[in-house]
Structure 1
Amino acid sequence: MWRALAFLALLAIAAFGAVWIADRPGTVTIVWNGYEVATSLAIALVGVLVVAIVVGFIWAIVRGIITLPENLVRGSRERRRAKGFTALSRGMVAVGSGDPLAARRHAGDAERLLGSEPLALLLKAQAAQISGDREAAERAFQRMANDPETRVLGLRGLFVEARRREDEPAARAYATEAARLAPSVTWANEAVLEAQCADGDWSGALETVERRASLGLIEKATARRQRAVLLTGSAQLLEAGEPDAATDRALKAVKLAPELVPAAVIAGRLLTRRGDLRKGAKIVEAAWKANPHPDLAKVYLSLRTGDSVRDRLARAETLAKLSSWHPEARLALAQAAYEARAFGQAREALQPLLADRPTVRACLMMARIEEAEHGAGSGRAREWLARAAHAPRDPLWIADGIASETWAPVSPISGRLDAFVWKAPTELLAGPAAPHAEDEAEGAPRRDPVAIAPAHVPAPEPARAPGPNPAPAPTPAPAAGAAPMPTPTSMPQGPLPTAQAEGKSSEAKPSDTKPSDTKPVAGKPADAKPSTPEAGWVPGKPGDGPIAAGSAIPVVLPAPRPDDPGASPEEAEAKARRFG
Structure 2
Amino acid sequence: MLRAFGFAIIALIVLGAVWYVALLPGHITIDFGSYAATASTPIAILLLAILVLILILFVGIIRALLRTPARVAARRNLSRRNNADAASLRALSAMAAGDDRTAANHARIAQRQAPDAPLTLYVAGETARRTGDHATADRHFAALARHKDAGFLGWRGLVNHRTQAGGDAAALAEAEAQTRQAAVAYPNSVWLRDQRVQLAFNQNRYADAARLATDPPARAALAIMASRTAEGERMAIDWAREAVRAAPSLAPAHLSLYAAHERAGHLWRAKRALVAGWKAAPHPDLAAAYLTSINLPLDRARAAQKLASANPGHPESEALLARTAKAADLAGEAQRHEARAMAAAGSAWVCAACDTKHADWQANCRKCGTIGSLGWVKPPPDPTTVLLPSPQPAA
TM, length-normalised to structure 2: 0.72
Query: What are the within-5 Å matches in structure 2 for residues 182-201 of structure 1?
Result: 182-183=182-183, 184=187, 185-201=189-205
State the match for 1:259 in structure 2. Answer: 249
Deviation at 1:349, TM superposition (A): 1.6
State the match for 2:362 in structure 1. Answer: 408
State the match for 1:13 in structure 2. Answer: 9
Cα distance, 1:166–1:26 mapped onto 2, change above 3 Å: same
1:139 matches 2:130: no
Q: 1:208 aligns with which of 193, 205, 212?
A: 212
State the match for 2:377 in structure 1. Answer: 423
Cα distance, 1:345–1:5 mapped onto 2, change above 3 Å: farther
Amino acid corresponding to residue 256 of structure 2 in structure 1: I
Amino acid corresponding to residue 291 of structure 1 in structure 2: A
Cα distance, 1:208–1:256 mapped onto 2, change above 3 Å: closer
Which of the pair is proportionally richer in helix? Answer: 2
Query: What are the within-5 Å matches in structure 2 for residues 354-369 of structure 1?
Result: 359=345
> Over residues 442-483 of structure 1, what are the superposed CA-to-partner deviations in whole Å (9 max), with x where a residue is unaligned?
xxxxxxxxxxxxxxxxxxxxxxxxxxxxxxxxxxxxxxxxxx
1:145, 1:152 within 8 Å by CA — same for their partners in 2? Answer: no
1:243, 1:270 within 8 Å by CA — same for their partners in 2? Answer: yes
In structure 2, what is the Cα distance between the partners aligned to 1:255 and 1:15?
83
Cα distance, 1:432–1:351 mapped onto 2, change above 3 Å: closer
Deviation at 1:331, TM superposition (A): 1.3
Deviation at 1:182, TM superposition (A): 1.4
1:138, 1:161 within 8 Å by CA — same for their partners in 2? Answer: no
State the match for 2:310 in structure 1. Answer: 319
Deviation at 1:330, TM superposition (A): 0.5
In structure 1, what is the Cα distance between the partners aligned to 2:154 and 2:385?
49
Cα distance, 1:151–1:345 mapped onto 2, change above 3 Å: same
1:396 matches 2:351: no
What count of residue pairs does the alignment treat as equivalent? Answer: 369
1:111, 1:120 within 8 Å by CA — same for their partners in 2? Answer: yes
> Over residues 255-277 of structure 1, what are the superposed CA-to-partner deviations in whole Å (9 max), with x where a residue is unaligned?
33322311222324555752445
Amino acid corresponding to residue 312 of structure 1 in structure 2: A
Structure 1, unaligned stretches of length 5 or more?
Answer: 214-221, 360-393, 439-580
Q: 1:295 aligns with which of 280, 285, 290?
A: 285
In structure 2, what is the Cα distance between the partners aligned to 1:225 and 1:432?
35
In structure 2, what is the Cα distance between the partners aligned to 1:317 and 1:83?
71
CA RMSD of aligned residues (A): 4.3
1:124 matches 2:124: yes
Cα distance, 1:344–1:159 mapped onto 2, change above 3 Å: same
Deviation at 1:179, TM superposition (A): 0.9
Partner of 2:310, secondary structure, is helix
Partner of 1:200, secondary structure, is coil
> Over residues 92-128 of structure 1, what are the superposed CA-to-partner deviations in whole Å (9 max), with x where a residue is unaligned?
4455455566545543333223232232233334455
Amino acid corresponding to residue 109 of structure 2 in structure 1: D
In structure 2, what is the Cα distance between the partners aligned to 1:123 and 1:166?
21
2:126, 2:157 within 8 Å by CA — same for their partners in 1? Answer: no
Cα distance, 1:46–1:182 mapped onto 2, change above 3 Å: same
Amino acid corresponding to residue 110 of structure 1 in structure 2: A
State the match for 2:34 in structure 1. Answer: none
2:88, 2:110 within 8 Å by CA — same for their partners in 1? Answer: yes
Amino acid corresponding to residue 8 of structure 2 in structure 1: A
Amino acid corresponding to residue 335 of structure 2 in structure 1: R
Cα distance, 1:308–1:106 mapped onto 2, change above 3 Å: closer
Query: What are the within-5 Å matches in structure 2 for residues 373-522 of structure 1?
Result: 394-399=346-351, 401=356, 403-405=358-360, 407-413=361-367, 415-425=369-379
Identity score, percent: 22
1:90, 1:106 within 8 Å by CA — same for their partners in 2? Answer: yes
Amino acid corresponding to residue 138 of structure 2 in structure 1: F
2:25, 2:41 within 8 Å by CA — same for their partners in 1? Answer: yes
Deviation at 1:189, TM superposition (A): 4.1
1:115 matches 2:115: yes
Cα distance, 1:70–1:32 mapped onto 2, change above 3 Å: farther
> Over residues 383-440 of structure 1, what are the superposed CA-to-partner deviations in whole Å (9 max), with x where a residue is unaligned?
xxxxxxxxxxx323345635223x332344555421322133566777999xxxx9xx
State the match for 1:249 in structure 2. Answer: 239
1:274 matches 2:226: no
State the match for 1:441 in structure 2. Answer: none
1:138, 1:157 within 8 Å by CA — same for their partners in 2? Answer: no
Partner of 2:309, secondary structure, is helix
2:240, 2:256 within 8 Å by CA — same for their partners in 1? Answer: yes
Deviation at 1:17, TM superposition (A): 0.7
1:194, 1:416 within 8 Å by CA — same for their partners in 2? Answer: no
State the match for 2:179 in structure 1. Answer: 179
Amino acid corresponding to residue 351 of structure 1 in structure 2: A
State the match for 1:352 in structure 2. Answer: 340
In structure 1, what is the Cα distance between the partners aligned to 2:196 and 2:226?
18
1:142, 1:158 within 8 Å by CA — same for their partners in 2? Answer: no
In structure 1, what is the Cα distance between the partners aligned to 2:268 and 2:248?
18
Partner of 1:349, secondary structure, is helix
Amino acid corresponding to residue 135 of structure 2 in structure 1: E
Partner of 2:372, secondary structure, is coil
Deviation at 1:327, TM superposition (A): 1.3
Query: What are the within-5 Å matches in structure 2 for residues 569-580 of structure 1?
Result: none
Q: 1:330 aligns with which of 309, 315, 318?
A: 318
> Over residues 47-89 of structure 1, what are the superposed CA-to-partner deviations in whole Å (9 max), with x where a residue is unaligned?
5654443333222233334444444444444444444444444
Amino acid corresponding to residue 318 of structure 1 in structure 2: S
1:232, 1:250 within 8 Å by CA — same for their partners in 2? Answer: yes
Cα distance, 1:276–1:88 mapped onto 2, change above 3 Å: closer
1:88, 1:106 within 8 Å by CA — same for their partners in 2? Answer: yes
In structure 1, what is the Cα distance between the partners aligned to 2:90 and 2:25?
69
TM, length-normalised to structure 1: 0.52
Partner of 1:27, secondary structure, is coil
